Structure 1
């Protein structure tokens, strides 16, 4: 029962014997257990060292067990202290490993295989402390979509910022758009553009992942600190600047309704009036009428211009 606390079977057996018959000498314990006297004396010394047994100053010396609740509590606290020390040691060793890796790893690597790519994308994100930047472009590894959403929700809950630029084709389906809406509700900052040039994830501005073979075997380019990484960061910021905010922040309730915010988001994602009408539970004429009203109010001739004007006015966050 006590092996989890580092107590051997022989030590526990002798401790139990003392619990049943306290105040025994080493000789009496040896006779009762059938163990050699030398083994009993050695085990008693070990039990004393673990705080399970007290040796009386009498002659001959007798041994008294400590109360189990107190003794086991002390052992458990000692174990927790050793675990904490091991964690500190692990952190120091990890720092050494990361330093060595940074000094010796090339700035460019390749990750091959769909499963290896899913694991690597998750690993890089879980090591992020500040910000993740992404270009979201089809096609996807289906097994990785739900896993990516779980990791992102977990990290945003811990304070990591996600900025995502969606290609319009990434939001063509209602499921994809609903997932993007869910991520937004949990903190994702999202914009949408036409024709993103590549898939991309950048963690803490220090590591970039660029999938370049999108078939079943999947291959991803991994870039560390280098001019290539600097170029990808500049590319992301340029696409972010030209993107249309996908969803509202909920802070402009006095200026534009939540329904209008949703309408602009669906339109920015490239959905037709029929799809928007089904999503909002209204008819197509209502969508057209509300969109014309929004465009007139924002001084826009197209839906895209309406999104840009709303963003400039702070209506979409």
Structure 2
């Protein structure tokens, strides 16, 4: 035998290099006995016997009847196809096993804890990348990085006190969002199947389907109905889109000074526009103006 050994090609199919070496020898010398093979590869008899048993179990060789037993190699094309089919079957079985493990992992109230700034940022990014239908967010300082796009619906409730600067207001308006005074916590819900819940500056709890997740979904829906639209939808009537926005902020409870700061205009401008809105709606108070605007479909 030559000392050179070709590189193994069957390892990906679960065949070890020594099994393949013996198979190659058998291809060159079909119907060899175990003694013949031992001499050809210069292995002890017990080692040859062990690898012959392996070749038989893999379907790479068969044994002839009679004594001494002789070994016949399987046709390479057929043998490799059989190994590939077995590998595919093993992959399918592993996937089924993974689904069982997933079901066990998602027992009621099961959760995982994510620690560290980088790991948390990466998980928030991955969760949004995996979203298929909707992402629901309760947000307050420090802000959660939102990556809107790909046809996924975003609904965000911002803490009113967090939106203190005009540029923050512009950024918030890039998503479907509302405002609420004193948002109780930061939260991201993805496709109503998972939740990311920050519990400390560098700690996030991730929840799968569970009773706690159901409770968080109900909390978001409740807060969404209690919050005020940040960017109302213009549907006709005497109010401009800018007036609708101002009225929404006022209806959310902001003072003229706070509204001016959020819109980046002078307080006198806000007061003048508010008086015009009240006259347009024949209202004497902001509450009455908001009520009438809502009844006329002027606010989303």
Global fold match (TM > 0.5): yes
The match for 1:25 is 32
Which of 158, 169, 186 aligns to 1:200? It is 186
Structure 2 stretches lacking a partner, 5+ long: 1-8, 250-258
Matches within 5 A, 1:73-152: 73-99=81-107, 102=109, 115=117, 118=120, 122=124, 133-140=136-143, 145-146=144-145, 149=146
Aligned to 2:73: 64
Structural mapping, 1:1-317, within 5 Å? 1-19=9-27, 21-26=28-33, 27-55=35-63, 61-68=70-77, 70-99=78-107, 102=109, 115=117, 118=120, 122=124, 133-140=136-143, 145-146=144-145, 149=146, 157=152, 163-171=155-163, 172=165, 174=167, 177-178=170-171, 181=174, 184=175, 189-193=176-180, 195-201=181-187, 203=189, 204=192, 209=197, 211=199, 217=201, 225=211, 236-246=220-230, 271-272=262-263, 309=293, 313=297, 316=300
CA distance in 1, matches of 2:223, 2:292: 14
Structure 1 residues 139 and 29: CA distance shift in structure 2, 3 A: same
3-state SS in 2 of match to 1:63: strand
Q: Deviation at 1:51?
A: 2.4
CA RMSD of aligned residues (A): 5.6
Please give the alpha-carbon distance, in whole angstroms, between the structure 2 residues aligned to 1:53 and 1:46: 9
Per-residue CA distance 1:11-50 (angstroms, 9 max, x = gap): 021123334x152413332221111234324322322321
Cα 1:200–1:310, aligned 2, differ >3 Å: closer, same or farther?
Answer: same
| Structure 1 residue 308, shift from structure 2 partner | 9.0
Structure 1, unaligned stretches of length 5 or more?
Answer: 276-284
TM-score, scaled to structure 1: 0.56
More helix by share: 1
Distance in 1 of aligned mates of 2:274 and 2:89 = 63
Could you state the TM-score of these two structures normalised by the residue count of structure 2? 0.58
Deviation at 1:247, TM superposition (A): 5.0
- Secondary structure of the residue aligned to 1:83 is helix
Question: SS in structure 1 opposite 2:187?
Answer: strand
